[in-house]
Structure 1
């Protein structure tokens, strides 16, 4: 019965009280921030030096550093092309989305003044990937059918192969879309390609300020040097007026640049030592970058909602009180492949050193610590660790703002979520209660089915349990009603016989007739007694199952003994046993199994065709189950009755038969099989000329084959 419950006594109020524990977050956060601020201010410089020293110790005698740090001529003016290791293959579509994690290393050309194109080179698997973004206020494509490559805007790639030979390729297109490279002749300024190079493929797309080109180049075509050059042509009738911008100079023949490959092994070694908002560099003696981990500031495109300050009612006040350092400052080292600085030169000379420098825009001060990497041959490189001195202030301000905002929002959302969740739970519980009450009448009768909840939680389990219980009770009620109707039907005939016999006996004085009426009345009484006996038999079996003692016995041997008894009891029936040639042990009650088998044999004898054989078939259904089947030729089962026959008070015998049949025989067989952990089955034979009833029982164990004698 539903009644209105006070909110302060409900589940919602109790869960709301639990959410008040979130108020401990700001106090604990404030205490933690105070300790963290004090610790960071005292240890920042020591931490950076310690990190640099630890990395240098790990890289002691590194093979890569020993290989790349041999004495060589000064190559400080040599152009460098930095090769970015990619974490996944690039989809060649001409757009920069796949390159977003690596755009911080993009190179702009020319380096001084306004850039005309920018490029980035990546490596994944057996291919190099190249992304070029070109500024061009008028993109000029090749005329259709053109055989010259200088009649439109184009990109030239010069590659020094592993053999040392230099090969030039040119990419131009008649329209945006899929492009392939054209190998150019070795003769200078020859505009006619030698052949098409299908191994260098990509996508050309028009952009807002010009066009973009994305290429894929097999690794085996590229040695350790490469150069890029962009040709900007505005007048197709004067190809000689094209402007060339390359990775080094504005000449039409760019100087090849050396490809710098970061060492992934060094990157893995230093990966576990990086700090938040800090950057670790590993340099060889030529100050070339071999590995880098971390960053000083977030990239604009990579800033997420988590990095942004959360709104807080106290935020305006905090911003007035606290200094607000900028997270966005100019970082002149962010795209560098070669680093220079006094601390680096000191470290390469063998002396650890720190240095503070202002960023070019004066928005931050960078603290850097350099430590020499030594080997048995001397100093082979340096480790540089950088961190902004604004980090402490940034952490303090962000932490105070975030903790304040997060606490308020978390308390608000958690309280609302808990309140909503509790409301949902109570609503579901009320619905379940009302549905249960609606399914059962006040006098206890079940008047409808309870639709189970499909939710995979405890309330759903409870709903399905209630639904299952009500359905079983409903079926039991129908069973009781059916049993009452069947009992009334079975009692009606013998009672009618007794009643009519007594009336005729009272009206007829002929001794012979009286004797006949008395005999008919006795038959009716006997029939009533047989009905009661069979009902007691079913009840007695259910009670007997509780007290039955379990033992282990060989079912094969029991069947052989039982078969002899059946042959004597039914001398006019032929029985055939198809057993197994080994022992089949089961755990159970032999008397009950015999009783179930008696019911199946009696049923088969009643329905079998004259002069046909009744077969007992014992087989192993699986390693843990056996099947005992009784098969006879005769009438088949009506459709849909295969399992209904094993219910109580169900029978398909014709009412013209002499003895009453309450449908309890197969019901007892089912009780016995379920008591032994098995089940019963019934089916029509495939031939359509008989039926088969089976007991499926678990096997305890099997023994070796036995022989007679």
Structure 2
């Protein structure tokens, strides 16, 4: 990872500031919510006590049948099309039935839907009607009650049979419609509203059950305009109130949710609303179950308040950028009188939280931007200075291992800087001075030795020539032969060192050209076959020409050195493999041979000068100086590549790799 990236990561650590600010704004938003919830709950409790003290018509007890207001006229035909808008709020009737009640200015309508796959049919006047499927409808006016039996053997109009004696005010005959299908039957009818019915009992008899229908007289519960007027007198602005029965039925409502907006600029945009919902607000309840037109609110918070406790929750508002606080408290201190629900829409909490968050984010990101720019500028300057040091260090060494003359005569860059980079530059300068002197000494050592050793060798050789003409004891002849052999070997060593210096200059002066490297390798392989003797020599070349800008005579010379080395270490009946492969940016020549593996300590030193793994030469043999692989390395470096050696994976031998990228093309001056 670069230095600039590391400092950029350090700069990103300042993001902890906006994160901490975001947590603080969330905590502030929660405190604002709690304060608003406590204030609205206190208002709800005070309003509930006022309703009780003023003896407002509150819903008493639970288990009542709620009568809905009809949104459209109802036709008595036994079908539920007219009841579709009220179906979501149907009231359960036993295990398999449901009941819906509705009224308009003249009539009280009832609709009974019973699910039964097996039917026992009989008319209300049949003798066996009590063993069939039927519905008992009970009416109560004041203290008097009367029940009617509804049954039918076929779909169509049905007349209800009274089960009780006649009573004043009760009709003697009820007319309804009976419809059925494979899933059950439905009974639809109507009663004059002027009867003033106070309670109703609906019991469903299933012929397949031995249990008798249980009477469940329940009072009728309706929406109360009088109670709504009482609420309107107690409400404050921008608050909506609803009185609910213990079962959640809305019996009164008043007020509207219209959060005030002082100015047009206070209207939050879609992005601000999204930020508030995503980053600041705790999860909000969905607004759909709290719709104003719903006749019943079967919600957990309402039931909790119906049990005697107060609840408060936040939900989404009807308008963009608003939230609604809903508080439910029991009327009269317990659940018998129902629940008072107050709702208050607010844009103040989202606006304050958004403004605080955006202000904090803008400040934090401004600080982060300034800090990031400062650190980036510092990192860029530091990176540029280090890059200059790197470039100067890379330019200090020429291709032949000598130090660049410009570095020798000029000052190393940034040595005058007073900081740590200046100290590093001065250390580099001192190091290059020492390395330059030592490198020059090593490079001239061979020529100096070859020059200095010529005169002593000539003196020793002339002395040995004189001794041959002198009278010597017979036992001195072997010693004289050994001395002459040693002088010859030293002479060969001096000549080889001089030859190595001339070879380096020859390689540096070689002229490149575009050649097919495959033809060069093929020609070398053909020349090596007679020299391989009993050894198996194989050559693998690419199918298409491999053009490389190179010096073919140098590559052939390097292959000669590698083949000579492989021939020395390959058994008499072993194998030698020569291959050429194309690379994306050059070529790779590999010469592998069967033989003993390379020592691990020598794999990185084989291509150095005067390094050899061959056995010591016996007296009379020519010494081996280890210059062959050194020449291979010089050829590879001249072609901007490298020479490598490694043991084969199966341990059967050694592979020498010559990776070439081509020699640089020179521009011709005009």
Q: TM-score range by the shorter chain?
A: 0.3 to 0.5
TM-score, structure 2 normalization:
0.41
